A and B are shown apart, each in its own frame.
Chain A
Amino acid sequence: MSDYAIELENLSRTFRVGPGRTKQAVDGLSLSIERGEMFGLLGPNGAGKTSTVKILMTVLLPTSGHARILGDDVVEQVERVRRRTGVILGGDAGLYARLSARDNLLLFADLYGIPYREQKRRIGELLEMVGLLKSERARVETFSRGMKQRLHIARGLLHDPEVVILDEPSNGIDPVGARELRELVRGTVRDGRTVLMTTHYMFEADELCDRVAVMRDGKKIAEGTPESLKKQTDGQVVLSLDIIGVGEPDLDRLRALPGVHSVSVAEVDGSQRLDLHCDQQTDATAAVLEELRHLTVLRVSKREPTLEDAYVSLVSGGDATWTS
């Protein structure tokens, strides 16, 4: 019996994206997740989280490396992996919109080979747990996003899996719905399951996960507890500028300034917002404004970094040095 619930060993996946062109979606990823642990896989869109999840779901083959769930190889022992793993997808995909919530669960219960007598009991319990008992006969196409996500959770837990994989479960859900959802996810861990969750919401990972790993461009750039991630920003400040017309050469010059750790840019109401993670001791404000003197700077502010900033610093900055 394996000591770990999930083990990834130098896992890689390459996609063909055009004639003669390939993309390395997952690049030598290694992870070991202990039984009963709640593990978060973080990263921006395109970081390789979903490809990793699909490999663990057994619907995508790795190009190289190994992935094991409870000691079973996801390529060689597919059926055992599928029986012992529950997958909870985010968004609208994965549910039959024209069936009721109960019929969706009945259909998947048959696909998971659950005897009928058990189905009735299990489905009733799960619908109650996710708060959909009153809507069990309504077609899923009439459900809100939050209701669909709760149904996803019920579907993923139908066969009482030992390992649960959640792929961006709170994507597109309102704050109240997301809070309820996190409570449900917490409940799955209390039942003794191992949970791997992908998300790009740092606060969600902070609230739920024992440990997290951050991915960028298919590679793991950091791994540890949320607390150790927060420590990444000790001794830093965030210099925030609203600006018009900043380009990639400007960003490169800013990155090269002494005391600047990382630079991220986002479009905000017709202008751009630059967030520079700088050393607290080195006041880079004057140097930054000098580099941007040919542009219109609308606003400059300085603030203490948040947990989100630590994550942004990792995924937008250079190679991380943080581990714990």
Chain B
Amino acid sequence: MAGTFQRNTGAAVTLRLFFMAGWRSHMALFRWMRPSAFFPTVIGVPTVQLVWFVYLGNYVGTHPVAYYAVGNALHASAIAGLFAPAMSIQGERFSGTLTAVLATPARRSVMFLGRVVPAVLIGFLTSVVMFALAAVVGDVELPWSRLPQLAGVILVTATSCSAFGLLIGAIGLRTREAILMANLASYFMLLVCGINVSLESLPDWLAAVGRLMPMTHGIQAARDVLAGTTGTGVLLLLELLKTAVFLGIALIMLRCLEQSSRRHAVLDEM
């Protein structure tokens, strides 16, 4: 007899929706990335970017090369952080699974937040590799005693970028332009987040926008940690606050745009 199947809405089920469904969705949408494509995309692009800005910075001479190396090493987490959540919704649309997924009773907040976790992990690992590279080519000193603190900064920054990526991804529920938006955000962050250009040298309004973007306080915290300065806790709290705001807006947008997509019949549009 149908309908007698036991359903459980307890913590174990919620945790599986968060971790396992999030991970499987990630695998489902990014498995096309074999090692031959994965490493050039996730490691190759930030490597070229870091080396490029380190040598350009050295030539320009505005800041010590370590300034550019740290900024770009941390920006590496934005590639996974922005694009993976953005593509996780856009990719569903392209693979024709969005309608089937949204026809399930899964709690949207848990389901979509779970998709951020793989992006945070990949972003974190990418940045770790880039910091190792920064030590080799960018005059960045990595004392053992400061590595745990630096790891914390990288994790917080990668989370902040992924939260912003989810916000961009939410747009993918209503339009097809999420990837374009992620590209725009990534380049905009290069300018306004203190990666290669200090906020003090930007017009006040642009610097103010930069402070609202993900990563800005994380980069400052990373430089402070490596310089042995105190007070990074406040910077990390600000970065976490932004993360919470990004996630909150993203979840509201996901809810509103899902409703709007049902009204306007755009879930199947490629």
Contacts and interface: CB of A to CB of B under 8 A. Distances in A.
Judge: A and B partners, yes or no.
yes
Interface of A: 15-16, 54, 57-61, 79, 82-84, 87, 89, 92-99, 103, 106-108, 110-116, 118, 122, 155, 159-162, 191-193
A68 to B, nearest CB: 16
B84 to A, nearest CB: 15
Contacts of B97: 93-96
Contacts, number: 124
B100 interface: yes
Nearest to A191: B2
A132 to B, nearest CB: 18
A164 to B, nearest CB: 8
Given A96-B95, A110-B24, A59 B262 contact: yes
Given A107-B21, A110-B20, A115-B13, A99 B100 contact: no
A59 B13 contact: no
A106 B19 CA distance: 13
A98 B24 CA distance: 11
A83 B24 CA distance: 21
Contacts of B267: 59-60
Contacts of A61: 262-263
Q: Closest 7 A-B residue pairs measured CB to CB?
A: A93-B96, A160-B5, A96-B28, A162-B3, A98-B31, A110-B21, A82-B105
B41 to A, nearest CB: 16
A114 B28 contact: no
B6 to A, nearest CB: 6
B1 A114 contact: no
Nearest to B1: A192
A162 B4 CA distance: 9
A94 B99 contact: yes
B2 A192 contact: yes
Nearest to B24: A107
Contacts of A60: 262, 265, 267
A82 B103 contact: yes
B32 interface: yes
A113 B106 CA distance: 7
A161 B3 contact: yes
A59 B103 contact: yes
A94 to B, nearest CB: 4
Contacts of A110: 13, 16-17, 20-21, 24, 106
Given A94-B97, A161-B2, A193-B2, A113 B105 contact: yes
A142 B46 CA distance: 34
Contact of B7 (A89, A111, A113, A192): A113
